[in-house]
């Protein structure tokens, strides 16, 4: 959500900058059309400011409500705080659908929907049921989202999303390894460590497996090499 608010802040700043420039030029040359266009930029900036304030306030308030629940004394997705978080998700999703034709806000709000959904689910399972169940839920959540992020990053050729998936995989393995120390059985601890290690190796191999994203420079190098071999 912090990245979302920062991006909207840049949109607001750019709109205000365009307004100041066009307004000054309109006064200098006496252009009514430029003056009207500058007012349009000011209107866009005002709307973006309201969106920024609304998103920041709602996200912070909902996160505070989710965090204030007593640890290990609630069922996930079954409290009144869940309804608050659901309302925030519905508001961001509605804003995203309304801004579907706005090339500046649409990708930002789409990222906001995904980002808030991830944060919401994470906060729901963070202290759910008991310490052991919450740890297992969190490890499973990190692992599942890491696989999804790497898969989407590979299919859509988005290297940054693959990086996010790898980071989540490291978090899943690290959480499992750290909490395996509290298991009573030595065999259970060894088994948990092995599962975490195998998962991390598998996701790292998939992350690096041929067929994923290739940078334009590497593609040009491969093309030039193939042409050279053909000439010979």
2-59 residue pLDDT tens:
544 555 555 556 555 555 555 455 455 555 454 445 445 545 555 666 676 777 778 8
Burial of 139 (0-12, 13-18, 19+ CB in 10 A): buried
All residues at 6 or more sequence positions from 17 whose CB lies less than 8 Å from its CB, including other chains: none
For residue 89, name the pLDDT band (cuts at 50, 70, 90).
very high
CA nearest to 122, candidates 59, 71, 76, 186: 76
Per the CB < 8 A criterion, the answer to whether 44 and 8 are in contact is: no
Where do the H-state alpha helices sit in 30-158? 32-67, 80-98, 106-126, 131-155
Tokens of 162: 């693959």
Burial of 166 (0-12, 13-18, 19+ CB in 10 A): buried
pLDDT score of 34: 46
The gap between the terminal CA atoms of the chain, to the nearest Å, is 55
Q: Is the pLDDT of residue 178 over 70?
A: yes
3-state SS assignment for residue 4? helix
> What is the mean pLDDT of the segment spanning 166-183?
81
Tokens of 110: 């789409």
The answer for 215, left when phi > 0, alpha when psi is -120 to 50, beta otherwise, is: beta
Q: What is the mean pLDDT of the chain?
A: 75
Where do the H-state alpha helices sit in 156-185? 159-179
Range in 110-114, 131-135, 227-231 with the lowest mean pLDDT: 227-231
* Dist. CA 148–CA 144, nearest whole Å: 6
Contacts made by residues 67-70, CB under 8 angstroms, sequence distance 24+:
67/123, 69/127
pLDDT score of 5: 52
* Dist. CA 111–CA 90, nearest whole Å: 14
pLDDT score of 65: 92
3-state SS assignment for residue 3? helix
């Amino acid at each position: 959500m912090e990245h979302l608010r920062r991006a909207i802040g840049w949109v607001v700043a750019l709109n205000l900058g365009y307004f100041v420039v066009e307004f000054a030029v309109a006064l200098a040359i006496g252009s009514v059309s430029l003056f009207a266009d500058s007012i349009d930029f000011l209107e866009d900036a005002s709307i973006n400011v309201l969106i920024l304030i609304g998103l920041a306030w709602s996200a912070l308030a909902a996160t505070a409500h989710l965090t204030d629940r007593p640890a290990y004394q609630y069922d996930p997705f079954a409290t009144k705080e869940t309804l608050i978080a659901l309302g925030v998700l519905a508001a961001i999703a509605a804003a995203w659908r309304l801004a579907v034709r706005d090339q500046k806000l649409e990708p930002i709000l789409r990222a906001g929907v995904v980002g808030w959904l991830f944060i919401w689910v994470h906060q729901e399972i963070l202290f759910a049921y008991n310490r052991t169940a919450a740890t297992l839920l969190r490890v499973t959540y990190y692992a599942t989202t890491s696989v999804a992020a790497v898969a989407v990053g590979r299919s859509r050729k988005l290297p940054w999303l693959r990086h996010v998936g790898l980071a989540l995989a490291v978090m899943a393995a690290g959480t499992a390894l750290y909490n395996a120390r509290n298991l009573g059985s030595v065999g259970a601890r060894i088994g948990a460590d092995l599962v975490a290690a195998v998962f991390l190796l598998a996701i790292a191999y998939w992350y690096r497996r041929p067929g994923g994203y290739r940078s334009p420079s590497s593609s040009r190098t491969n093309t030039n090499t193939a042409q050279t071999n053909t000439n010979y």
